Amino acid sequence: MAKQILTELSTHTVHLGSGNDQFEVMVSNLSDRFATFAVDVSASGLSQPTTTDWYQLTPDLSAKIPAGDRVNFVVSLLEVPPIPGGFTGKMNLNVKVTCLELGEEDRQLVNLVVAGSGALSPRLSAPVTEFEAIPGNLVELPLKIHNPNRNSANLRVLVKGLPYQWLTDGHERRIQVAPQGNANVLFICQPPLSSEAKAYPFEIEVLHPEAPMVGHRGTLSVLPTGWLELGCVQVETVAEDEKSAEDEIGAEKATEKATDVSVEGDRFADEPLAKQSARKLRQPAATNYVIELNNRSNLHQSMAVSVFRTDVPMLRRLWARIRRQSLRPMTTTGHLLQLSPAQVEVGAGDRAEMTLVSQPKAPWLGWRRKQTFEVRPQRQQTDIQPQSETIEVSANPKIPFWAQCLAVGCFGMGAIAHSYFFSGHRAAVNSVQFDGQANAIISGSDDHTVHRWQVANGLQDIESLKTADKSIRVVHYRPLNNNILAAGLENGEIQIWDFLSQSLPASLTFQRDDRVFDLQFSPDSRSLYSAHGSGHLLKWDVSNVARLAEDTVPAQQKQFDFAIQAIALTNPSISPQSSAQLISTASTDSSSVLAVGGRFNRLVLWDAAQNQEYPLDYPAGEPNDYISSIDTAENALNRMATADTQGRITLWNLSNCISIGANCRPVDLQEDAHRGEAVNAVSLSSDACYLVSGGEDGRVNLWSLNHAGQVVEKKTLARFRRPVNSVDIVQQGKRLMVVSGGENHRVRLHRARDRNQACS
């Protein structure tokens, strides 16, 4: 049979180390079909099996070529073949070409010439390459050396890169290692107390008289010690206006004394000057402070100092009390305090100074007031002693006290009237929802109240319900008749309000201080699911609201291994038609499935009837990453939308997700839904043709979807300066209504028209 493989070499002799340590293997396909050829290179004297790290083949696997074609393989020799005990001289390299399809192989020989003494460099290993040391403490630098040669080796071991005085036993060792033997070398390092805190790279070199030098790199990090000493000293200064007035008065007195004239008319002539001087003296003078930074550490530090006000003025306290807000100090303005320079470099053991000039601005109201400021270093990498310094600045008011009293009385009456007639929330709105007919809206807020709004030409606040003194995280209508309201509180309590009975709300509590993040009623309104920050998902029997009490226990408990942020009722195996029938007939929720999302971006489908979990494939997150919101379409429970704090909106079709498990994939993904900010809330329309979202960027976005659940258009309905926390959407004919609530304390209604042709 004719030969089907033809192998040719570019050269038959290669000198290792000559600068051209490679040769080509040209393989020709003499057969009548496609064939795959592979090349293997071996050396005489190698133990089998062995690695191929001593050469590199390009292409590295194989090549498939047609009949009559040719392929070139390039063999690059990286080092001497690993012959035990080393090798110099001339050896044969066997080049073997194989083809599985043809069942043949071809061989060629290459002469490899290796020059040198034949001795191999020792091999080094170290258990640790990164070391940390406190100045003054001893650090061990261990090293293990292996002699691969057949003869004993006299080696010289050096440590380079570290100051020689740090090595207590010297920076050099001379050792003798037996053939094929090992030796351990230990260097002792002691950084002095004055050593600067930073990373010191070093290298341990091992010298063999007949082989190339080998080295091992490492890093010794000197840890910071000591502290930064802070001091603030006031320097007495005299205002320019005061100096001018004193100079004028002194000059006048000197003139009178020199002329020795005391005339009545002259004294009256001096009176306007005295009054003018007194007025100038009453102006606040600038005060200089010297901020001393004494670096008593071993670390070079770039220091900046922040100065902020710590006291709360009386008017600000009064306003905060009226608005029921927390007290916040006044903002420090640039014309009041000036710091120079803004940043200083302080070396280890050095001292630096900064100048702080205080020029108080006379207040309009009140009496002589003192303003307290705190001076605190920033960007420090060591402890500070003391942590901060306090300075006081005082100034007299410009408006007389009686005028202030009159103004305060008028302001107080106006504030009382404003508070009495004020409608709406007085803190951040956390949850909003339409009722079933879109005639009313409920909202829950951090101001501990639930408000009902009538939807007419705008929004009218028609009722306010006061809960316990805890923030309301979520509010939810009962689907049946919308006459029952469930509110989840910050302290873990769930309050059930009956609008028809006008009685006090029923209270459900499973665990105190376990925040309620989300609530969901079952389709038949007999059960209520609550999601908690501890990872508990509870099912409550609310079929008889009148008999609910605080000691009611959950009908079912499920503990997840992550904090739950959002839940939604879904049914992956149900069609849109049967889903609408399930809602309309208020059938039992035994076949319902809950989508559960929360911390670490965990997303799970939980079958409550079977108590079975089905995790969904979602990008993992850090401890501060959350699935922030989940919603499903009322008439298509297999269509779901999720949002997270990384700014993603994910759209899902959950059909057969339970049966295929982890293979469930989203139908669309919006990576940058809200300009890189977190998405706080999403809501799907009942037919899954629209999605509305609210985010940290203060925007309310409307997304048009097609039948597959993919985004076809995006529209911004509103932009606010504060984040949007909650949204909801309803569709009435060709009209869309969207409600939003957020950090601006407002509940807003937005309208749009149904122009989505992709889902019609």
The secondary structure of 716-758 as a DSSP string is: EEEE-SS-EEEEEEEEETTEEEEEEEETTS-EEEEEEE---GG
pLDDT in tens, 446-459: 999 999 999 987 78
- Would you state the torsion angle of the CA atoms of residues 657, 660, 663, 665, taken in this order, to the nearest 10 degrees? -20
Q: Which residue has the higher pLDDT, 665 or 53?
A: 665
Distance between CA atoms of 287 and 233, rounded to whole angstroms?
Answer: 11
Q: Which two tokens stand for residue 635?
A: 């008439």
| Among candidate residues 753, 747, 754, the one with its CA nearest the CA of residue 434 | 747
- Average pLDDT value for residue range 715-729: 96
Confidence of residue 180 (pLDDT cuts 50, 70, 90): confident
| Among candidate residues 745, 743, 736, 655, the one with its CA nearest the CA of residue 703 | 736
Q: HSE-up of 191 (CA within 13 Å, CB side)? A: 23
| Among candidate residues 589, 573, 681, the one with its CA nearest the CA of residue 637 | 573
Distance between CA atoms of 730 and 434, rounded to whole angstroms?
Answer: 7
Q: HSE-up of 559 (CA within 13 Å, CB side)? A: 5
Put residue 437 in one of left, alpha, beta given phi > 0 → left and psi -120 to 50 → alpha: alpha
Instruction: Go through 276-296 and write b for each residue having 16 or more CB atoms within 10 A of its CB, e for each that does not.
Output: ebeebeeebbebebebebbbb
- Helical spans, DSSP H, in 426-482: none
Put residue 738 in one of left, alpha, beta given phi > 0 → left and psi -120 to 50 → alpha: beta
Structural Rg of the chain based on CA atoms: 41
- Rounded to two decimals, what is the model's pTM? 0.48
* 639 Cβ contact partners less than 8 Å away, ≥ 6 residues apart: 576, 632, 633, 651, 652, 653, 654, 684, 688, 709
> Contact, 105 vs 52, CB < 8 A?
no
The identity of residue 41, as a single letter, is V
Average model confidence (pLDDT) across the chain: 83
Q: HSE-up of 444 (CA within 13 Å, CB side)? A: 27
Distance between CA atoms of 227 and 398, rounded to whole angstroms?
Answer: 45
pLDDT in tens, 400-411: 777 878 888 888
The pLDDT score that the predictor gives to residue 257 is 44
Q: Which two tokens stand for residue 677?
A: 């900010």
pLDDT at 269 over 50: no
Confidence of residue 704 (pLDDT cuts 50, 70, 90): very high
Q: Which two tokens stand for residue 257?
A: 């004394």
Q: Which two tokens stand for residue 458?
A: 């705008």
Distance between CA atoms of 676 and 114, rounded to whole angstroms?
Answer: 60
Eight-state DSSP code of residue 626: B
Confidence of residue 582 (pLDDT cuts 50, 70, 90): very low
- Would you state the torsion angle of the CA atoms of residues 714, 718, 719, 723, taken in this order, to the nearest 10 degrees? -90
pLDDT in tens, 646-657: 999 999 998 878
Q: Which two tokens stand for residue 499?
A: 């609008």
- The residue count of the chain comes to 760
The pLDDT score that the predictor gives to residue 248 is 53
The pLDDT score that the predictor gives to residue 646 is 95
Could you tell me the CA-to-CA distances from 53 to 80, 96, 149, 393 in Å, in that order?
10, 17, 19, 75
Burial of 184 by CB count in 10 Å (0-12 exposed, 13-18 middle, 19+ buried)? Answer: exposed
Please state which of the ranges 294-303, 417-426, 716-725 shows the lowest mean pLDDT: 417-426
| Among candidate residues 519, 521, 493, 492, the one with its CA nearest the CA of residue 506 | 493
pLDDT in tens, 196-227: 888 999 999 998 887 778 888 999 998 888 88
- Average pLDDT value for residue range 303-319: 77
DSSP annotation string for 563-582: -EEEEEEE-TT--HHHHHHH
pLDDT at 68 over 70: yes
* 463 Cβ contact partners less than 8 Å away, ≥ 6 residues apart: 451, 452
Please state which of the ranges 250-254, 334-338, 349-353, 474-478 shows the lowest mean pLDDT: 250-254
Distance between CA atoms of 696 and 712, rounded to whole angstroms?
Answer: 23
Q: Which two tokens stand for residue 625?
A: 């990453």
Q: Which residue has the higher pLDDT, 331 or 36?
A: 36
Confidence of residue 138 (pLDDT cuts 50, 70, 90): very high
The pLDDT score that the predictor gives to residue 640 is 94
Q: Residue 55's beta-bridge partner residues?
A: 77
| Three-state SS at 198 | coil
* 68 Cβ contact partners less than 8 Å away, ≥ 6 residues apart: 28, 29, 30
Q: Which two tokens stand for residue 427?
A: 């803190």
pLDDT at 660 over 70: no
The pLDDT score that the predictor gives to residue 575 is 46
172-177 β-sheet, strand order: 130-133, 211-222, 199-208, 153-160, 172-177
Please state which of the ranges 10-19, 263-272, 415-424 shows the lowest mean pLDDT: 263-272
pLDDT at 276 over 60: no
Q: Which two tokens stand for residue 525?
A: 């309104």
Q: Residue 457's beta-bridge partner residues?
A: none
Angle between helices 264-281 and 240-259 (to 10 degrees): 160
